[in-house]
Amino acid sequence: MTKTILITGASSGIGAGMAREFAKKGYNLAICARRLERLDALKQELETQFGIQVATKVLDVTNYDQVFEVFQAFKQELGHIDRVIVNAGIGDGRRIGKGHFDINRATVETNFISALAQCEAAIEIFRAQKTGHLVVISSMSAIRGMPKHLTAYGASKAGIAALAEGIRAEFLNTAIKVTTIFPGYIRTEINEGAKKLPFEVDEKTGSRLLALEIEKEPIKAYVPKWPWLPIGLAMKVLPLKLVNKLS
């Protein structure tokens, strides 16, 4: 039976990029995001090119009831969900104490509370199936506290990394697997206007490397592995003033 992957935030960026990579590998896809026209265009592209089945649905992950409804609807339509990639999120953020609480709150709510809803909905399906692979997209910014515009964003991504580890702890030695991915800097639509970042890769390269790592079902992975694996290990022990230089 062909396996099915559900990807949130799949209308652009690494969400759409990963959808293309997994379509190449022959997976059926359940893709969701706020922009249905983009999802439908991607569906047509992938079904035509790879002969797979692609289901699309509108999802605003900040509508928590809708998260559960959409995940269950995909399950009913496709019969079985083998992997869920919790990818939807926002990269916004402002310096703390500068009058931007609303922006920082929205960042944390979208990247953490909405991710919690997606994990809850996914694990509910996996419990019923007694099998499944949950993938949570965190960030290298989650490794240590980060300054300025990354403070709230990094904290939200650290939160979902801890959430994923807690879920993993419950399902050790079972057929339900949990992977946490820590991407480095990947240039996508969400950050296309930002300055060039250290060791950044383009969207296509980043998506390909993400898919390769996710296929291995690791406990956690830094992507791209070089140089982010050694940097990630170093970030845990370096003085904060040196960690700041990566922001």
153 counts as catalytic: yes
Angstrom distance (rounded) from CA 246 to CA 57: 37
Q: Cβ contacts of residue 63 below 8 Å, gap of 6+?
A: none
Contact 186, 206 (CB under 8 A): yes
Helix, strand, or coil (residue 91): coil
The residue annotated as part of the active site, out of 27, 153, 185, 222, is: 153
Angstrom distance (rounded) from CA 38 to CA 161: 29
* Residue of 27, 39, 16, 156 whose CA lies nearest to 80: 27
Contact 203, 187 (CB under 8 A): yes
* Residue of 210, 228, 226 whose CA lies nearest to 218: 210
Sign of CA dihedral 6, 9, 10, 15: negative
Question: What is the residue whose two structure tokens read 């480095």?
Answer: 184
Angstrom distance (rounded) from CA 173 to CA 123: 16
Q: Which residues are catalytic?
A: 153
